[in-house]
Chain A
Amino acid sequence: MATEAGERVFLRKASGLIKSASNTDVFIYDVGLVSIGLGLGFLLFFGPAVYLGGNLYVGTLLAGGAMLLVGLGMLTWTIVIPRSGGIYNFGTRSMWPPLAFTLSFVEVTAWLFYGSFGAVYLAQLGIAPAVSATGILTDRPGIESFGTDLAGEWGTFLIASSALIIGAIILGSGMRRFFFTQKVMFTVAALGTLVFLGTLIVTSRAEFVSNFNGVMGDRLGVGDDAYNGVIGAATSAGWSDPGFDLKQTILLANWAFLPLIGAAFSISIGGEIKQVGRGQTLGILGAIFGSVIVWLISFALIYRTMGSDFLGSVTYSNLNGVEGAATPVTPFPTLLTGLGADSVTLTVLIALGFIGWIWLWIPTQILYPTRAIVAWSLDRVAPDKLGTVSERTHTPIPAIVLCLAGGIAFVGMLAFTTYFQLVIFIELAVLAWAIVLLAGVFFPYRRPDIYEKSPLANMKIAGLPIMSVACALGAIAAFLFFFNLFFDDFAAGHSRHSMSVLIGWFVGAFCLYWIMWFIRRRQGVNVNLAFKEIPIE
């Protein structure tokens, strides 16, 4: 029997006709990947200390605006090609297959690195400072010292590697367990953020100064008035507030843009969202707006409670090891909030929330690459074994193990060497996204067979396909932030060794494609045909 759907169509009784996934689900997915807590940490820790004269509010709004354009471009891609797997699907339909694979490989390694980066921060900025702070507040030097050890090279390596292993085990044991743990950690993270904001609201500047002096007075070598002593010592050592500086503000925006990229990660699950237009729009745009709003509110509260001079001085002193003014724990604002309230309970709750935000990244940054690796394997540009899915858990164990090994290798490099600038691989991923967005500008003209079947087919702006316009704006924003990272020596930069990493990774990925092409050729397989459209005669 046929039934009416919508206003003017009729449906047969047939399988697969399901209602849309909750739009809220997509929103939570994207917000979780922004990691509001870690973004807040980056901005408040690096911003005032490194980018002197940079304005957090303006920098965050700049990044939010740019990510909005990138998000809109990606939104058009995922509406036109509603498939799971991220930019690999977009690339293989719009550009030369070796280039599409190269971009996908670069993107995948970037997110893997990002996961390792998160795991390292879990140790250095999450667990270790929380342990040290607990030792300080309970006046137990042994615990305080243990926390310091945890932030060392081996402590970092062991904690971060363990986190990756746990994340991989959860992923390998099945998606249901993964979803459950993500849900739990999202709840912990959100509650921790509420406690953090609530604590800031009820703590006055005078209370904060008094408690900070009480806790840190004996530990720092800047006198009993540790609060002003830190500002004085940092100023003497070179920190200053020169007033608004546009260049530093633009560079500072990198640290807001970086986590905001996660807002568009739902492109990796496009195939699982039925009303992809509405769901993705709410997810991507909602995550950007929501994150930016929480950050702006947090900045205002932090400045009100701690003062901007103090925040800049205490973070500057820690990063530069200013004599007598470097706090024994990393002065992450979330941690300072707990210390400033002089409460072990609040400190632990806020720290747990922060750890929760970081955790949300770790397994997901392994999950995203594994989906792409399985797609490569199915397209025969990666070994067949990597596409194997466990019958018991229905997860791609070999791909997960490969990602875990890569992730641990990255952790080792981050913990024991200074080879990588902080976010050098993100520079690569942003470039890959920029190129895919650029391809999107021409997609409606190059592949009308696909575009004209999409819901965007009849939408135009100034006579141009909406996808062309959105992707053009997104590509411009992504290229601008690529260059912003390029000229930010602290975050990524363009030093000789940064460039060698960047170029080497692209060239390596490109070579990998041709190695697989050659191997498959010897097996009688022409992988290029897999991406070509069958001609209709």
Chain B
Amino acid sequence: MIALVAPLAVTLGSAIAGAAADGALGLTPRGASRAPLLVLVTLVAAYLASTVPIALAILVLLAVATRARRARSPSLAPLPGLGFWIAAGALVLVCLSRPAHPILWDELVWLSKARLAAPWPSRLVRAALDPNGGVIPSGYPLFYSLASAWLGGFSSQRSAVAAGAAAFDALACVAFLGAVWDSKPGRRLGRVAIAVAVLVTCPIVLVHLRAAYVDLPVGLLAATLALSFEAPRPRAAPAVLAIALVGLKDEGLAHVLAVLAVATGFSAIRRSRRRLTAALVGLGCGATAFAAWRLRLASAGVPADHALNYVRFDRAAPLARMLASHARDRGTWGATLGLGAGAWIAAWARGRRAPGPSLRLAATLSAQAVALGLALLCGPDRLMEFAANGTLLNRLIVQLVPMVAALTASWI
């Protein structure tokens, strides 16, 4: 069991700082996902200040400039009650029941960077921007490692950074379930319960909930991003989530582009100017944060790990074969992928008669899968090695499982 005092104290402090920023700038919509978003606001601001301060300055100026036109939106959702917190608490408990020390390959890599970042991030940022700094993978965004260090109480202790990572995973779970709760009126607790059930009946998700791997948080925050457009006024939530996603992992950009492209299209169809603005602002903020980090890497002479190439269609057939081989592993996935496919087919079959956000979520899931597929076809040759030795495709599917959970739950 991990030590909880420091993560709780930092989370509370971040929420208070986020609430202060929210009070001044009106960043988040009301609802169940607001509290975790407030923590995320602080973490994202600290991340930008540490890595690309110019991007933070531009975004704060933009937020201040548009502040005058904002008014507090009415709450879509009633505040979540005991049932929500029991369901969310179950997932949080799984996250917090992780081993006190990292024991999986990549979590040791992520958290070795977190140790370097404690108590202050400058040492990690300097090493990441040094071609001989020894930070791997080269050029990777640093948000997860920095957030783990901060939430772990700014300590480089081996167990503290693991506790910080667990706190971040728990935060992503609560943000996701809050977004499921907020997504439409009526039977909110039923939807949350279904989303939790879909997640915990996928055995590999239980492994990732208790590990400092970034794939599940990416999936949870991408689904939260998609669901944030169910609020009548998403405000700056999509922007905050987009910056967090591109800071977590290179694939985060693919998710941001996919989710926000679909959100833009549906907002235009629904003639919702506020949602359309939020989607475009989110796209701009995500792209700015990603480009600013890549520019810093380029100016420091550090090669990015995932430099894009031209499309290699010859990879499609072997990748499809490997994907089919992985996806039929019942021990890893249970029936999650099959049930997700069924919910996806049902959404398209019923079209506009599908309930609430089902069709939008089905379209988003398709766009995410296409974006990840394109990233695989355009990525460096090493990706095919990773895919062949089994360390890539399953992780990408894990990134889609939260959207499958949201889609299945949306039918309630």
Same complex: no
